[in-house]
Amino acid sequence: GLVADLRDAQRRFSVEFSPAHDEEGAQRQWRAVERLARLRPVFASVTYGAGGGTREGTVELASRLAARTDLRPVAHLTAVGQSVPQLRGVVRDLLAGGVTDVLALRGDPDGDPRAPWRAHPQGLQHADELVRLALAEGVRSAGVAAFPLGHPESRDLDEDLRHLLGKFAAGAGFAIAQLTFDVEDFLRLRDRLAAAGCTAPLVPGLLPVTSPKVLEVTRRLTDGHEPSWLQRRLAPFLDDRGAFREEGVRLALEDGRRLLAEGVPLLHLYSLNAAGNVETLVEELGLAGPR
């Protein structure tokens, strides 16, 4: 299963896609999917809702990955704007499409991380409940989100850790950490989990910031926590696309090497629906999976 594969030292990366917004995007994405499938990632995750594309798009893309490629899809799923019966329906649709693993998230109101959270009146309040729902419907594994700097709604890191442990107690098999450019922040979260006796795989994210546009995406993926040194380090290259890309890749390679040396189970690579940057990282870091 997925969680066992996360512990397999020969398997060293996963990749993330988002449902495309139009037909042209979908075709471009599929070409990237086919190229990246050849590198044999442990899993390919598909984002869900709001910033992550439509819900139907997630079920469709994840099912397509299951049916037409060797990739193991992990479908993100959120509790936003859906009743419990609707959520059960989404999980059943995923299972019917051959998608057996999910990343269970609470989500943000209409994709706005700053708006106050309001559960659907017949819905769920937190991700731990969604973990239970998905497992009860028969998914093989449910992963969850973890926050190296704490979730913005948590009072402090202790409270944040308690709730993360609550998600594992609900049956989560692994966690993907929110993207961070400070490896130390990730390692501190890993230490807190270990100190609490939790041995579930915690996967760090890695995004090569290869253009000013990607730098914008970074702000969203880190809840505005992208470090000021990242801006400073990339600022000299704003007028030179090639040099900017090189520096972005160099930065990601530095973080990737450091994380691998620290013994992380694997690196979760954000593809932004393109293959090139992921291929570069996989090649330079030697991440391709076993045949």
| Min CB(8)–ligand FAD separation in Å | 21
Does 16 qualify as catalytic in the annotation? yes
If the CB atoms of residues 17 and 244 are measured against ligand FAD, the closer one turns out to be: 17
What is the smallest separation between the CB atom of 112 and ligand FAD, expressed in angstroms? 10
CB of 167 to ligand FAD, least distance (A): 6
Q: How far is the CB of 133 from ligand FAD (least distance, A)?
A: 13
Q: CB-wise, 148 or 248, nearer to ligand FAD?
A: 148
Residue 63: which of 6, 102, 107 has the closest Cα?
102
CB of 45 to ligand FAD, least distance (A): 8
Neighbour-count burial for 177-206, b at 16+ CB within 10 Å, e otherwise = bbbbbbbebbbebbebbeeeebebbbbbbb
Q: Work out how close the CB of 241 gets to ligand FAD at its nearest, in angstroms, rounded to a whole number.
A: 28
**Number of CB atoms found within 10 A of residue 112's CB:** 10
Of 119 and 233, nearer to ligand FAD (C-beta) is 119
How far are the Cα atoms of 68, 128, 132, 195 from residue 163, in angstroms, in the given order? 37, 8, 14, 15
**Contact residues for ligand FAD, defined by CB under 6 A:** 47-50, 52, 76, 78, 105-108, 111, 113, 126-128, 145, 151, 153-154, 160, 163, 166-167, 176, 178
Three-state SS letters, the chain? CHHHHHCCCCCCEEEEECCCCCHHHHHHHHHHHHHHHCCCCCCEEECCCHHHCCHHHHHHHHHHHHHHCCCCEEEEEECCCCCHHHHHHHHHHHHHCCCCEEEEECCCHHHCCCCCCCCCCCCCCCHHHHHHHHHHHCCCEEEEEECCCCCCCCCCHHHHHHHHHHHHHCCCCEEEECCCCCHHHHHHHHHHHHHCCCCCCEECEECCCCCHHHHHHHHHHCCCCCCHHHHHHHHHHCCCHHHHHHHHHHHHHHHHHHHHHCCCCCEEEECCCCCHHHHHHHHHHCCCCCC
100 versus 178: smaller Cβ distance to ligand FAD: 178
47 vs 63, beta carbon nearer ligand FAD: 47
Q: Which is nearer to ligand FAD, 43 or 48 (CB)?
A: 48
Active site residues: 16
